[in-house]
Structure 1
Amino acid sequence: MTQPPPSGPWGSQPPQQPGNWQGYAGGQPGPQGQWNPPQQQWPNPTPAPKKQGPLKWILGAIALIAVIAVTAVVAVSCAGGKGTNNANGGGGSTPTSGARSDIASANDTGPVAVITEDPSCAPWGPINDTLADTTKNGGWSSRDTSIPASAWTPEMQAMYQAAADAFRKSADQTVPLIKITTHRVMRELYGQYIAYLRAFTKRVPNYTPNDNNLIATGITFGMVISAVCQAITFGSAAARGPLISAAQPPATIAPIGDINEPAQVLTSSNPVCGNWNMAVEQFVSDPTYLAWNKEDPSIPAGSWPPQYKAENDSVRPALVRLSDSVEQLGRESKNPTIEDLGVLAAQYGRAFIQGIGTYTSADAYLFNVMWRTAGAVSGACKAVGTN
């Protein structure tokens, strides 16, 4: 698979996902490096570090992104959770007048935090794996996304239609998870996964290259969900989340709306899109990130050579800047969902930073939540024409 340009709306691409759930065919390759967290067969409950060699990355020139590899959820320990405090990712929610009784997260009105348990993780894994299996064959991974529907061969038309059917089914299967998650931000993530997959399927008959941004964004929202659940299962959320300061409460809460027909987070450009993308570009072009990105993430801090110790110390300021930037921009967006996503990325970034000195391979899930959330918002901006 060819390499994409070195940057895009999400910047050069970050470490590959930890864990080993099934990924979607057509994942985008990117810069080479060793930051590839451990892989294990679902539902093995513990990570098994293994060096992976050349990586395939997600976040790059979004116009070339196919369906990106999404990890499946190892969710043996994911059941439960009230979403009511920092330890389990809620943030001091209080009962809301008129809250919907069929939505478990309806009363989660506090600040977004690192999530340590969520009952929706277990059913998410099979949904993810089914879509991954369905899209493995048929040429989807090697398709040329620059070819519009008007120039498709019969074989290409059949391939796109089969993929669209799979995306539509996956979106439909995800709707019930909106009800059972106990966390507002997970409800929003599921909603965006559904909304962007469906938006792409509707565009397939008249597909143009820009429409690939829709499916790339939807799949990246799915990757965020997977990383959240993996951080729960492998313990990094519980180990790091309680040690960071709680975020400030949200300015407003997005209405739940029609869970059967979630709306895209952006249907027109938002003023923060340009600065959001710039923050990501600055991070991935930072020399400290470029050096750190070449490390083997399966090596725990206790076994780091002096070079790794120095590189991890050096990359901290860049990680702090990115975390602070996405939270600030999220709050400036005046869009309650983007605000929640900005705080989600920031808090997981801070949790990752907090754990650098005692790093284990499971901590990579925290980084992936931060990075892929940043990528999903950038993808949403790109889908409405903001580079």
Structure 2
Amino acid sequence: MTQPPPPPSGPWGPPGGYPGNAPGPQWNPQQGWPQTPPPAPKRGLAKWIIGAVALVAVIAATAVVAVSCTKSSGGSDKPTAAPTTSGAPTSDFASANDTGPVSVITEDPSCAPWMPILTTFANSTNDEWKKRDPSIPADLWSNELRSQYQAAGQSMRRAAEQTVPLTKLTTHRVMRELYEQFIAYARAYADHIRGYTPEDDHLAVTAVTITEVLSNICQAITYGSAAARGPLVSPGSSPARIAEISNPSDPERFLTKPDAQCQDWSAAMDHYGADAAVNAWLQIDPNIPASQLTPEQQATTNAAVPVLQSFADQLTQMGAKSDNPTFQDFAALGSQYRLAYLQAIPTLASADNYLYDAGRYAPGIVRNACESAGI
């Protein structure tokens, strides 16, 4: 297995794919895959529960998720209603006419301004806050810890404000929803800091998990894996209902109370995270090219693939059962990116792992949003 070329020194630290100070090799469609990607960090075992320290544990919390997507049944599954807006003209949004199936995104004009926002956000967050113990409530904070939380809240507010214009710039509905939800959850976390309780950490985790998905979608575009693998994946069904376009200055969280699928979603993720075949696969050094796997490593990979596919189908079915259109879109997003990665396995290149990470983080958004809503 190989990893995508990660930033040499990302501000959150590996693994994750946040942009670092150095851009790394850039994708050029005339040249093919990047020629000299830096070594990738070891994936490690799948983790599913938020640890007691380090915001970087957000990465572990969202787990390795492989999702399949239901195939379109034909022309009878068109949306029953076009999206409406809450306080903003539809014509202001480049994604307003995106009412079809969620798919792998091969280009998006919002990626260029998003990556500097993300880098600034990550670099402005105090390292000690990243190592915090989120189980400590506000009434037990030291003055130093309180200052760290307040600074983190300010960083989230700034990043959320900078993200507002991107909701109109992106041409993809699901990207707009990701930006909307980052704004909503980042601001909600900042609002809860004064009276912080351990449950409020799920707001921060949801916001940062969204930044992981956005980062990896954009990196898959930059390094060419989205364009190379996306066309291999059949589109899913068009949604029966589209989420309203939020007021970008004040979007609402997509889950303010638990969805009917929340418990099954988390249970399925826990079950998958404990699977022996998947955990054995995760032990393979990601710096080994697919063409150089030993027979044993190839057998381990082959054993994991049907588990990934089976679990994918299960998550897709749960997403389809939800009455929440944003929940459905995030489930479909993870599905499409995981399907693209599974298609890539026989000829895997390091940049394909941006597809993998986009697919594994997307369901983590749903899980942590469920937790923040009181699952």
State the TM-score bracket (shorter-chain normalisation).
0.7 to 0.9
CA distance in 1, matches of 2:374, 2:18: 36
Counterpart of 2:263 in structure 1 is 274
2:349 to 347, 360, 375: 360
Counterpart of 2:31 in structure 1 is none
Paired residues for 1:1-387 under 5 Å? 19-20=6-7, 23=10, 25=12, 41-42=22-23, 44-46=25-27, 47=34, 48-52=36-40, 60-62=48-50, 64=52, 66-68=54-56, 100-137=90-127, 139-386=128-375
Structure 1 residues 170 and 58: CA distance shift in structure 2, 3 A: farther
1:77-103 CA distances to partner (integer Å, 9 max, x unpaired)? xxxxxxxxx9xxxx999x969871110
Residue identity matched to 1:135: T
CA distance in 1, matches of 2:190, 2:16: 31
Residue identity matched to 1:19: P
Confirm or deny: 8 A CA contact 2:18 2:212 kept in the other structure: no
Confirm or deny: 8 A CA contact 1:38 1:50 kept in the other structure: no
Structure scoring higher RCO (CA < 8 A, sep ≥ 6) equals 2
CA distance in 1, matches of 2:45, 2:159: 23
Confirm or deny: 8 A CA contact 2:203 2:372 kept in the other structure: yes
Residue identity matched to 2:25: N
Q: Secondary structure at the match of 1:241?
A: helix
CA distance in 2, matches of 1:222, 1:376: 10
CA distance in 2, matches of 1:244, 1:97: 26
CA distance in 1, matches of 2:124, 2:366: 26
CA distance in 1, matches of 2:23, 2:290: 26
How much has 1:36 moved relative to structure 2?
Answer: 8.1
CA distance in 1, matches of 2:368, 2:52: 12
Structure 1 residues 49 and 134: CA distance shift in structure 2, 3 A: same
CA distance in 1, matches of 2:253, 2:9: 25
- What are structure 2's unaligned runs of at least 5 residues? 28-33, 60-71
Confirm or deny: 8 A CA contact 1:267 1:384 kept in the other structure: yes
Residue identity matched to 2:114: W
Structure 1 residues 259 and 349: CA distance shift in structure 2, 3 A: same
Structure 1 residues 37 and 170: CA distance shift in structure 2, 3 A: closer
Structure 1 residues 185 and 163: CA distance shift in structure 2, 3 A: same
How much has 1:64 moved relative to structure 2?
Answer: 2.9
1:308-361 CA distances to partner (integer Å, 9 max, x unpaired)? 211221111111122212221111011000001111111111111111100111
Counterpart of 2:68 in structure 1 is none
CA distance in 2, matches of 1:102, 1:382: 33
CA distance in 1, matches of 2:275, 2:159: 37
CA distance in 2, matches of 1:133, 1:57: 27
Structure 1 residues 208 and 63: CA distance shift in structure 2, 3 A: farther
How much has 1:42 moved relative to structure 2?
Answer: 1.7
1:253-305 CA distances to partner (integer Å, 9 max, x unpaired)? 00102111111110001110111112211222111111110112232222222
Structure 1 residues 255 and 97: CA distance shift in structure 2, 3 A: closer
TM-score using structure 1 length: 0.81
Confirm or deny: 8 A CA contact 1:330 1:342 kept in the other structure: yes
TM-score using structure 2 length: 0.84
Structure 1 residues 355 and 276: CA distance shift in structure 2, 3 A: same
Residue identity matched to 1:365: Y
Root-mean-square deviation (CA, aligned residues, Å) is 3.1
Q: Matched residues, percent identical?
A: 43
